[in-house]
Structure 1
Amino acid sequence: MSEIFLMCSERSGSNLITKIFDAHPDVCGPSPSHLAQIMVPNLWKYGNLKQSWQQLTQDTLELFQLKNSAWRLTLDNKMIADFAEPGDFPSLLSAIYKQERELHGKQHILLKENQIYSYASYIRRYFPDAKYLYMMRDPRDMASSWKQGFAIRGGVVRAARTWKQDQHGYTAMRHEIGADKVPCFSYESLLQQPQQTLQHACALLGIDFHPDMLNFHQKQETQSSSSVAIDWRNIGNPLMQNNFNTFEKRLTQDEIKFIEYLCWDEMASLGYNPIYDRLNDSDFIELEAQLSAVEPYEKPEFMTIPQAERERRGKLHRKITEIRNKPHFIEDKK
């Protein structure tokens, strides 16, 4: 059994590729749980994990229960106690992942956890046999999708900054692991040449390509996931082969120029060509200020999302904020 960690920015096909692999008879691809993304960078706040274990596991349990999409695993305090000894958080994570893939009757599990590069040393230490999959998308199309997303906060400015940071983190992590060991492909190649792209990725992961991967949208759990969150609705459809290079219709010239200036070098290294000459520095600073001034944090369209989803997202956001703002655990020195 092996964990496969996905390296991919938000709004770059991360949910799509997860469900494509979930359709493989040997790979489980659940929707994100946020467990590693939120808990691992904040473990230091819990001090001695043996002493704070009850608090740590309660936060982990609540976070798991608030995820946006269901897993087959129904986690509770008794299961947590069975999964790991007090203080052993890596074993708890590993047991959760193992239990979920076993409930699907599969050998591997593909995990979408955002910005994994920020806690890569932890994952590589405690999951030494893990494998990785890196997928990128044109930052202009990614930002366009981000801008149009109802639930994701911010717009083009936030999206472009995230994309730039992510590519730095993911490419550095990939080279530390060994570029020849980490499948790397673009969202665009997945749409245009799906079978060839997936065959190459599977070969590097050490699994056989299966044609069911191309029929991912027919799986009942994929259909269920597409209806749970409004920004996941497209994963219930077949691959949208022409869903790229649409940014010129959806973004303003100023937004495109902003993205191209900010991501110029990264775009060049990944094969994405600009359509405008690069701005000079002073013009970029002025443009960034203009776009930032009108960029909403929470979009008006968020209020059109079904109430149940808004309430679920609100609870999840509050729990994540609580964990991130948690004061350091004071150890008992007795």
Structure 2
Amino acid sequence: MTTNIIDVPFFFIIGRPRSGTTLLRSIFDAHPNVVIPFESPVILNLYRKYKKVRTWDEAAVDELYADLSKQPYFERWRVEKEGLKERILGYQGEISFHLLIRLVYQGYQSVFDKTETLWFGDKNPVYSFYADRLFRMFPDAKFIHITRDYRDNLVSLRKVTFEAPIPALIAYRWVRANKLMDKIIRKAPDQVLRLRYEDLAAAPEEKTREICNFLNLEFYPEQLEYRKKLEGAKERAAEYQIRNHESLMKPVNTGRIAIWKDALTPEEVKVMDMVAGRNADEHGYEREFRGSYPLLMIRSLPVLLYARMMNTAMRLGSLLPYGPASWVFMKLQVFYRIYRKAATRKSGD
């Protein structure tokens, strides 16, 4: 591990759920110079509480570890409490939030062999709602923004339970995530690499090399063979194949491209093309329908209003202190489940 941990930069993988973010994380977890834990919204959830903390004792570290343990999937990081305590209490000098996060990430136990740490990475689909905030928190970080055809994204999301698979809602969130990244690109174009899932699936080595060049890293062919390492570590392979990610153990392929053509109805495609609008064109996705459809727009308004309301509530709630923010999140989850059940029943899904 490098001794100057505060100098190790961060990169963030930004993308909507079911868009290839987990695939990218797996490819770079296999890189010997990258530490990129399983997804867990540690940074966003702990920032409000710990951003001004500079001095630490054993009780404070115990409280930090308790907060970390409450974060989704953090247990899969296998961060040892005593090791974290030793790193924090043994550090000579003031510990900023940025350094604190690095000390936490340093404890991630990857199944892949690591040498000198040249990058810390982070991936979480929820970041697609907060990319601008991450940029303010880490102004020198790099961002890899991966997009997937919004219509294929809907088909894939119908296999999971964490987002209501409603055409207008998914298209709205797709556009919203892209526009947040557009703002960052305008401010710091050299810090963002845009990538389409379709291109990664079609040419995995070429695109992985492109990302490595973006991060000034050497490319290792083993990155694309991460499955072989996992096959010899069944317990850790099970951690990789968390619910909804069984395809990780299959070779990268183009079999999930343009699946919407057989899976969606013409009306569903029309709604999504209408909501995505010119943003689809800007990101290289050809719309099948380009007209204006007043009746469909009127029918979609309740969903779009819900999407705006939830987006605002999530962003405002995340600005609260850690405890109240957790309470708000739980309430939003209850409201979401009620809405999802009603909306999907109405749409016939």
State the TM bucket, normalised to the shorter chain.
Answer: 0.7 to 0.9
1:224-243 alignment, distance < 5 Å: 224-227=238-241, 229-243=242-256
Aligned-pair distance for 1:105?
A: 3.6
Per the alignment, residue 100 of structure 1 pairs with 108
Question: Among residues 120, 126, 136, which one is paired with 2:134 in the alignment?
Answer: 120
1:321 partnered with 2:326? yes
Aligned-pair distance for 1:289?
A: 4.7
Distance of 1:323 and 1:86 partners within structure 2: 32
SS in 2 for 1:263: helix
SS in 2 for 1:152: coil
Question: Among residues 217, 237, 243, which one is paired with 1:207 in the alignment?
Answer: 217
Per the alignment, residue 256 of structure 1 pairs with 269
Per the alignment, residue 174 of structure 2 pairs with 163
1:1-334 alignment, distance < 5 Å: 1-40=8-47, 43=48, 54=60, 57=64, 60-64=67-71, 66-67=72-73, 70-75=76-81, 78=85, 82=89, 88-100=96-108, 104-107=114-117, 108-113=119-124, 114-115=127-128, 116-125=130-139, 128=140, 130-149=141-160, 151-156=161-166, 157-178=168-189, 180-220=190-230, 223-227=237-241, 229-287=242-300, 289=302, 321-322=326-327, 324=329
> What number of residue pairs does the alignment pair up?
293
Q: Which runs of 5+ in 2 are unaligned?
A: 1-7, 307-322, 332-349
Counterpart contact for 1:83–1:95, Cα < 8 Å: no
Against the structure 1 CA distance between its residues 109 and 88, is the aligned structure 2 distance closer, same or farther, given a 3 Å change threshold?
A: closer
What is the RMSD of the two structures over their aligned residues, measured on CA atoms?
3.6
SS in 1 for 2:162: coil
1:285-311: CA deviation from partner (whole Å, max 9, x where unpaired): 224558999xxxxxxxxxxxxxxxxxx
Q: Which runs of 5+ in 1 are unaligned?
A: 294-317, 327-334
Distance of 1:101 and 1:18 partners within structure 2: 15
Aligned-pair distance for 1:245?
A: 0.5
The normalised TM-score by structure 2 is: 0.71
Distance of 1:237 and 1:68 partners within structure 2: 25
Identity %: 19
Higher RCO (CA < 8 A, seq sep 6+): 1
Aligned-pair distance for 1:112?
A: 0.5
